[in-house]
Amino acid sequence: EGKDWAYRLVGQSEWSAYFPDCRGTSQSPIDVVTTQTKYDPSLIPLTPLGYSQHGNKPFTLYNNGHTAVIELPEWMGLGGLPWLFTAVQMHLHWGSGGPSHGGSEHTINGLSADAELHVVHYNSELYPNMSAAMTQRDGLAVLGILIVETNLAFNSILNYLSRIRHADQKVPIPAFDIQSLLPKDLGRYYRYNGSLTTPPCYQSVIWTVFHERVQISKAQLLKMETILYSSKADNPDRMLLQDNYRATQPLNHRVVFASFS
């Protein structure tokens, strides 16, 4: 993990030289081919726990050089999986070409969305914390929410990106209802076993990709795509933080389950 990595320069194909797990056979993201998914009636709607309860404590918004991250309070969690999961953080992946030019990590029937929101949780019934959980097969649960053009509550994050333009910058932002960023239909989703989509690519994620897409306006998308830098403030060679999504990975032996038919 100490080793640095990038989406550009030293590109995605070189991640596995330093992070061998990136060469594993259960990597993420994937292309979900809907005709090849398997209906599983045991996949019940997920229940966000405390997502809408934010009290008056601000959130912290952080440019980690690879994405914009919001650290989530530990009383937020996720129900509807075999174990209780505790929220850790959420972050975004985006492209550089505006609407209809890609930017999501997961694709459905070969089709990209404009961006993708990830809400990361760890299995707090089996493991004491995120770092213990992140190397275990049942350690993490990540929600993947595909974002397409129109409009939404994304300003709760986007209004503050201008304050974390460079890597390592952090700001407190007013807390907001995280559930407002999720689709309304939490019952229709795809489920598969995969990995972190960034080095070290541990194959520890129970992935949920919602079928319903959520919306973002063209102006909001362009702002997200052109405001942050992957370089630090004191680096004269500014590098825009763009295209921070990984290419889809082979499914290999895996089955993608659908909660609906």
The reply on whether position 118 binds Zn ion by CB under 5 A is yes
Minimum gap (Å) between residue 145 Cβ and Zn ion: 11
Q: What sign for the dihedral angle of Cα 217, 170, 234, 2?
A: negative
- Please report whether residue 246 would count as binding Zn ion according to CB under 5 A: no
Asked if 91 is an active-site residue, the reply is no
Closer to ligand 1SD at the Cβ: 131 or 150? 131
Is the Cβ–Cβ distance between 194 and 180 less than 8 Å?
A: no
Strands 115-123 and 140-149: antiparallel
- Closest approach of Zn ion to the CB of residue 238, in Å: 23
By C-beta, is 91 or 223 nearer to ligand 1SD? 91
Task: Compare residues 7 and 51 and give the one whose CB is closer to ligand 1SD.
Answer: 7
Contact between 142 and ligand 1SD by CB under 6 A: the answer reads yes
User: Considering the rule CB under 6 A, would residue 161 count as an interface residue with ligand 1SD?
Assistant: no
Which entry of ligand 1SD, Zn ion, none binds 196, CB below 5 to 8 A by partner kind?
ligand 1SD
Q: How far apart are the C-alpha atoms of 3 and 14, rounded to whole Å?
A: 12
- Among the listed ranges 9-17, 38-46, 95-103, 190-198, the one in contact with ligand 1SD (CB under 6 A) is 190-198
Query: Count of CB atoms within 10 A of residue 167's CB?
Result: 19
104 binds, among Zn ion, ligand 1SD, none (CB under 5 to 8 A by kind): none
Cα atoms in the Cβ-side hemisphere of radius 13 Å centred on 228: 33
- Taking the C-alpha atoms of residue 230 and residue 6, their distance in angstroms, rounded to an integer, is 9
Contact, 17 vs 151, CB < 8 A?
no
Residue nearest to Zn ion (CB): 118
